[in-house]
Amino acid sequence: MGKCIAIHPSIANRSNVIYIIIHRKTGCVYIGQTRQKLSDRIRSHYNGKNQFVDRIIRAEGRDAFEVGVLDFCNSQQELNEREQFWIKYFNCTIPHGFNSTNSARLMSRASNSRRVLCIETSIEYSSIAEAARQTGALSTAISRVCRGDLKTTHRLHFVFVNNSADELKRFSQKKRPILCIETGKSYESIAEAARQTGLLASTLSEVCNGKIKTTGGFNFVFADTPEDERQIFAPNNRRVLCIETNIEYISIRKAAQQLGISHHSISKVCNGKQGTAGGLHFRFADIPVEEQNQFEYNPKFRRTIRCIESNVVYDSIAIAACKLGLSPQLISSVCRGKRKTTGGLHFEYVD
């Protein structure tokens, strides 16, 4: 890009500078500031359309301009002050130069130097730019959150430090502790739970406020929710039994974690909406005895099979699959003659 607008190599990679763009033919200038590398900032002028100087560069051609550096700065406040100094010095606002007099832009610069507070972490930052660097969020998004144009960014809430007490108070519920019903683990806030679980803060909020049932297969409630209201989630903590292995688990979630099976599938099996999950049959451990027969004595659930190569007999296809690390569906296909082998082994029904 140096072939279009001359930038000396010694300054191309410098940041935190006040730069000047000069129109060779007329001598009109543009004064700007950047915390980026100067070369990256000039590239954004090439590709930009919003600023007056961007449109002039596109109209005149890149080779009609040259770039220089006026000041090196150490802080955002110093950048703001020196930029205004040089704009006045060169008197380069429109129509004498290419700098805009747009008050909104100046207000934006002023707001960027105001101290901001992250509600979730209680960390105070010297400026929006500093908050952006520390949190990884876009400075424009943080600014919009602080001004009330956006609710959150990166699952975090931000406010200007000099906001009134009433304005800060309205964010207090954002740090309301929440509880995961399945694991019993509590979190200081929705944002903290989002960071630790990898779930979206927005969906966690919807679960806690009763707008949706679960997120990531988990139920969450605000920690101060009355105990009787939490009972609506009790079915998710019912003990479940695997018919084939006769192993009982404290919850659907725990069974899913230990067996590597989707908790949604296990739940559907326990509620009679699906036949098997991962080739296994499940039921709630507390169902009445008269309802257990459909699981316990259905011969299709426990049909014995044998591995031809090892001559080992297994009580069911699911047990063979678990012990050998094979797919129960493929073992079933071999036993029914629909395929020859699975995992290099032959199987057959004993009976």
**Which of 320, 281, 302 lies closest to 331 in space, CA to CA?**
320
Task: Give the Cβ contact number of residue 321 at 10 Å.
Answer: 23
CATH 1.10.10.10 domain range(s) in the chain: 110-169, 238-292, 303-349
**Which of 205, 186, 207 lies closest to 196 in space, CA to CA?**
186
What pLDDT is attached to residue 291?
Answer: 58
Mean pLDDT of 344-348: 92
Q: Which residues contact 330 (CB under 8 A, 6 or more apart)?
A: 339, 342, 343
Tell me the DSSP string of 31-63.
EEEESS-HHHHHHHHHH--SSHHHHHHHHH-GG
Mean pLDDT of 162-182: 65
Mean pLDDT of 139-164: 80
Structure-model confidence comparison of residues 86 and 303, the more confident one: 86
Mean pLDDT of 238-248: 81
Output the CATH code of domain 303-349: 1.10.10.10
**Assigned architecture for domain 238-292:** Orthogonal Bundle (1.10)
What pLDDT is attached to residue 158?
Answer: 86
What pLDDT is attached to residue 292?
Answer: 54
Q: Is the four-CA dihedral 330, 331, 337, 343 of positive or negative sign? A: positive
Output the CATH code of domain 9-101: 3.40.1440.10
Mean pLDDT of 73-87: 88
Strand order in the sheet with 305-307: 313-314, 305-307, 347-349
**Residue 170 in this model has a pLDDT that exceeds 70:** no
Which two structure tokens, joined as six digits, stand for 333?
């296909």
What pLDDT is attached to residue 341?
Answer: 92
CATH 3.40.1440.10 domain range(s) in the chain: 9-101
306-338 pLDDT, tens digit each? 999 999 998 878 778 778 888 777 888 898 888
Range 110-169 has CATH code 1.10.10.10: yes
194-217 pLDDT, tens digit each? 888 888 776 887 788 777 878 877
Pick the CATH number of 177-234 from 1.20.5, 2.60.40, 1.10.10, 3.40.1130: 1.10.10
Cα distance between residue 53 and residue 20, in whole Å: 11
